[in-house]
Amino acid sequence: MSLRRSRAVAVALITCATFTDLVAYSIAIPVLPDLSRKLGASPTMIGFLFASFGVTLLTISVPMGAVSDRIGRKGPLVGGLAALAAASLLFAFADSLPWLFAARLVQGAADAVTWVVGFALIADLYPSSERGRVTGIVMMGTSLAIMVGPTIGGWLYELGGMRTPFVAVAALAAIVLVLLLWYQVPPQHAEGDIVPFGLILRVPAIAACAIVVVAISGTVSMLEPVLSLHLGTLGINPARIGMVYGIAAVITTTMHPVIGRLADRFGSRQMTMLGLVLAACTLPLLGFAWSYGSALALFILTAAASTFIITPSLTYMGEATSNAGVRSFGVAYGLYNLAWGAGLLGGPALGGFLFERIGFRNILFTWAPALALVTTLLWRVKSERPQTTAATARS
């Protein structure tokens, strides 16, 4: 097979695309608040600006997944990278708040397309027995983006001013876009019926996977505000709090490929259940952190447990879809992205609400049984082909 049609090249391009997407997302963290204030935004308006990303993420994920099922993966992926480059240039040259909001909305749409269609392409090209390994490679690249994005953004901002970070991201997106145009997507390997979103959601294994994704996304995002607040009460300064997240990210980055291979060997559903059990066990321990060192060690355990859920669940969504006798991977991963976005929206809000009323430790003791309940749900579901799916799709 030529290089232009190689599966390995497809994985490399998807990794580059998701890496660029997350660099664009994280690079805005140190830059956007300052840019917004210069354009007259209040703290509340800045919060709305950051939140607007989720609006298009939630609304675009499933429709674009369905579109890619019908017209192919390459066009939507190229469009997603073009949208990301356009959003970055809008950020760079925005001279009013409406333009900033427009850029953020386009960025959310680009994120939805890149992730949904990218993982759908992986599911097209690789059988279930190999998807864990490939997913682990992609997730390692994206975790690296989370680590370096804010640093690159701050450094470029200091070096060349407000526009420089966004222009750099636009250039990177353009390079990946050109490579995607050059690449020829191989014929799809999966066989089966392309079915609509409603029927996909009726497959028990797919619905259970979506619930798992809401649970882990909500857990990760819940911790982001309340852990920082709790560590502040222990006298840990913001710089050291950042180090807690940074060191944990380094460790989890190296874990993704290993866990992906374990999912291939022992089963993605089994590994996801193991991760849920580990998260339910380690999460309450975080409430007993009494110092910087203990907080770092306990958070690493919690972050590692979440890695045992995220990578296998991505693989499990593809496995559950193919085992159902369909090949609507775009819709399935659109549902995955939708579930992840729902967790991102609900987790911090619920965490902040509970933090004020019952405290950090009690939140974690309350949250852990919910993860155990989701584990039970996944345990009771099997990835079997339903008798009615194909027939209903053809009717």
Domain positions in the chain are 3-182, 197-390
Place of tokens 């066990």: 281
Options 3.40.50.1820, 1.20.1250.20, 3.30.9.10, 1.10.600.10; CATH of 3-182:
1.20.1250.20
Fold of 197-390: Growth Hormone; Chain: A; (1.20.1250)
Q: Regarding predicted confidence, which is higher, 190 or 61?
A: 61
Torsion angles phi and psi, residue 94, rounded to 5: -65, 135
Torsion angles phi and psi, residue 193, rounded to 5: -90, 140
pLDDT at 29: 64
pLDDT beyond 60 at 185: yes
Domains 3-182 and 197-390 are alike in CATH topology: yes
Place of tokens 């180090």: 243
pLDDT at 341: 86
Place of tokens 């992986």: 122
Q: What is the pTM of this model?
A: 0.83
If you ran DSSP here, which 8-state letter would residue 73 be given?
Answer: S
* Token pair belonging to 195: 């079915």
Question: What CA–CA distance (Å, rounded) separates 34 from 38?
Answer: 6
Cβ contacts of 177 within 8 Å, gap of 6 or more: 78, 81, 82, 85
User: What sign for the dihedral angle of Cα 148, 241, 220, 314?
Assistant: positive
Question: What CA–CA distance (Å, rounded) separates 282 from 216?
Answer: 13
**Each residue's pLDDT tens digit, 130-145:** 999 999 999 988 888 8
**Each residue's pLDDT tens digit, 316-356:** 999 998 888 777 888 899 999 999 988 888 888 788 888 88
pLDDT beyond 90 at 190: no
